[in-house]
Amino acid sequence: MTEPHDEIEELLAGYVLRGLSGPDAARADALLSDHVPTCAACRDSLTRFQGITAELAFAADPLPPPDLLLTRLHRELRPRSRRQGPARIFAVAAGFIVVAGLTGLTVSQGMRAGGLQERANHLSSMLDLASRPDAEVTSLAGTGSPAPLTEISAPGTEVFYLFGRDVPPPPAGQVYRVWLVAGDASTPVGEFRPDDGLVAIRLAFDPTRYDEILITVEPEASEPGDPADVVWRAAS
């Protein structure tokens, strides 16, 4: 493997098969966030590989699903209607425009990073997601009651937002660190500090590959090891 694109294709092949873990998974996430969107060859490879993994479904013997399954689905199908997102989120969002973003899995350097327009775009995207009829808005579990952070997600997307206000600052010399957990493996994906208590973080990752999002308090600029002081957690 001397050609960079061979190495990337190797990772993309493993990625579409759900076969990556540890550093390979983190590397693939970074590539998907940074390189692939700007590389036509890689986008084409990814599309082709995704097509292949879908077609491999045909290699399994088809089975007639139980009749009750369609009945169950029919019972649960309801006309779709627009749902208002959580009033708390909209109310707060209307009053603030400062948004911190983790673009893909790249570490955000703080609430002040990025231009105003970029922050506004993050906020707009978060509100779009929160206003989807199938949006799932759940409080993170952890210390303090009620938890100051909310997770916003929706089925079928690979974008998550962590949103909060009145988030206490970490102790002096420390930061909040975000981790994605898959089984026994934890991958650090970024750090943040609340800006006047406000946090709005965008995470882009494949939720089928991770079980949990953890927020820990860590010494600033420390080398990530294993998550230790967990303050909040949420299922991905």
Partner 1 sequence: MADLDVEDLELHRRLSDGERDAFDELYRRYAPTAYGLAYRLTGQQILAQDVVHDAFMALWRAPEAYDPARGGFRTFFLSLVHHRAVDTVRREERMRKRTERAANLEPVVGEDVAEGVVDLAAIGERRREVREALTTLPAEQRQVLEMAYFDGKTQAAIADELGIPLGTVKTRTLAAMRKLRRALYRED
Residues making contact with partner 1 (CB under 8 A): 1, 6, 9-10, 13-14, 16-22, 24, 47-66, 69-70, 72-74, 76-77, 79-80, 132-134, 154-157, 183, 206, 208-209, 211
Q: Walk across the sheet containing 174-182 and list its strands.
A: 141-142, 230-235, 212-219, 174-182, 185-192
Closest approach of partner 1 to the CB of residue 23, in Å: 10
The phi-psi region of residue 82 (left if phi > 0; otherwise alpha if psi is between -120 and 50; otherwise beta) is beta
Angle, helices 22-34 vs 4-16, to 10°: value is 110
Half-sphere exposure of 76 (CA within 13 A, CB side): 6
Q: Please name which of 21, 17, 60 lies closest in space to residue 211, comparing C-alpha atoms.
A: 21
Tokens, residue 194: 């609340």
Q: Which is nearer to partner 1, 16 or 149 (CB)?
A: 16
The angle at the Cα of 84, spanning 81 to 89, to the nearest 5 degrees, equals: 155
Q: Which is nearer to partner 1, 13 or 107 (CB)?
A: 13
Q: Which is nearer to partner 1, 24 or 195 (CB)?
A: 24
Closest approach of partner 1 to the CB of residue 61, in Å: 4
Closest approach of partner 1 to the CB of residue 222, in Å: 26
Question: How far apart are the C-alpha atoms of 175 and 224, rounded to whole Å?
Answer: 12
Closest approach of partner 1 to the CB of residue 111, in Å: 30
Closest approach of partner 1 to the CB of residue 34, in Å: 18
Q: Which is nearer to partner 1, 36 or 198 (CB)?
A: 36
Q: Which is nearer to partner 1, 80 or 221 (CB)?
A: 80
